[in-house]
Structure 1
């Protein structure tokens, strides 16, 4: 049997790296893509055999399409595209100018659209899967996230459009919305007040881990989820069910 190939964007760190690692453990080959060449090289040392590294900026139409071509030249197929690359630029709505807005949209929304469009022909051949990463911030409003939250809400709708139109080719499209995750970046910027507020607001009383999010992603890309498409899955410890507007998150 030919090994399945997963292309994971934003794979140099965090959820993307954890997802790439889990795909490898599940017997997939992995195309790990990131625009940060140095961090990607470091990640490659931990991924080991079965992973190939590709440097590209998903927000650039030519770079993204070129990366898809390079992955196909290397592996000959793509069975799953995980659109994980994203930027988290938070700030008050009145301080969000158009340049800041566009910088967030370019990666978080345009990048998902561009990579998916470029991968569709290959995914038709394998009857593969698209897995988009949105956020709990795309499901409900929160402070400081006018650009980020809007970009992620748009990714949710894009996922539904993809599922509706690509199903006839056997292509499934699903979306995972992580809640607070204990990444190095989050722990570096979250104050103790924010950490305590999340603990109180999340029914499971803790942050998620990168591995826990990866488990959901890989499942939805696998044959175990062969009749699942167009679904928006919040992997958030129950956060979406309990309300919004934490005072500690108002900045």
Structure 2
């Protein structure tokens, strides 16, 4: 229970990776606020957690919601910028509307979430974790906007780690990105359907293309990602800073 007294905010915390991280941080003693666009989903799954309706693409609403969470439950000690969308589209068919939709959630939303959380974060100890993707460290065919957004998210984290690394007066805040491969969540299910519809293959065959993309040839469990997030918030984690931690079953 080493996180007792800490307040963790997890965006996109109602499903998948976000929910797994929220549950793990709660098990470690943190007070957890989960956010998402559908309040009923958050309330159904977030037993003992604070549920907060929030669309990260709405800057003013995001800043207001995070300020309210800090007022009610204490400063944000742990910010997990997890909210994101994964939609593929070939470069030749991608238009600006598609590009801006992906960027507004995956990159702009993370920027606002982190900045608003840090306005409440104590200077002596804090953890900022962004959930990027293996697409943030390599190219992903057929998903140019998604790939660019996840690369940008890692750049945001690396820049922040340098900005708050002050040797003369060290900050207690660390910044890291988690880069999972294909995780066994609803996103994989939806993508399997989309790939099948576009290619003519079966949904099972479509899912197998994602399984084979992971180096160990299986889908990653969301709890495996949550364990890494918990480690970044654990004892003796202060020297892990500015990193993009790959969870993909092997070397990429």
- TM-score between both structures, scaled by the size of structure 2: 0.88
Q: Which of 50, 56, 72 is the aligned partner of 1:74?
A: 72
Structure 2: how far apart are the matches of 1:197 and 1:60? 34
- Structure 1: segments with no counterpart, 5+ residues: 242-251
Q: CA RMSD in A?
A: 1.7
Displacement of 1:223 in angstroms is 2.9
Displacement of 1:219 in angstroms is 1.2
Displacement of 1:77 in angstroms is 1.7
1:45-90, Cα deviation, whole Å (9 max, x unpaired): xxx22x1111111121111111211111111221100000001111
Partner residue, 1:175: 177
Displacement of 1:225 in angstroms is 1.2
Q: Is the 8 A contact 1:36 1:55 kept in 2?
A: yes
Partner residue, 1:231: 243
Q: Which of 216, 222, 225 is the aligned partner of 2:234?
A: 222
Q: Which of 107, 132, 135 is the aligned partner of 2:133?
A: 135
Matched, 1:206 2:204: no
Partner residue, 2:199: none
Partner residue, 2:85: 87
Displacement of 1:150 in angstroms is 0.3
Partner residue, 1:39: 41
Displacement of 1:119 in angstroms is 1.6
- TM-score between both structures, scaled by the size of structure 1: 0.88
Q: 1:108 to 1:160 in 2, by over 3 A?
A: same
Structure 2: how far apart are the matches of 1:179 and 1:196? 13
Q: 1:200 to 1:111 in 2, by over 3 A?
A: closer
Q: How many residues get paired?
A: 236
Give secondary structure in 1 for the equivalent of 2:64: helix
Give secondary structure in 1 for the equivalent of 2:119: helix
Structure 2: how far apart are the matches of 1:38 and 1:95? 35
Structure (1 or 2) with the greater helix fraction: 1
1:79-109, Cα deviation, whole Å (9 max, x unpaired): 1000000011111111111011001000100
Displacement of 1:198 in angstroms is 4.1
- Structure 2: segments with no counterpart, 5+ residues: 193-202
Q: Which of 141, 145, 148 is the aligned partner of 2:146?
A: 148
Displacement of 1:194 in angstroms is 3.5
Q: Is the 8 A contact 1:59 1:106 kept in 2?
A: yes
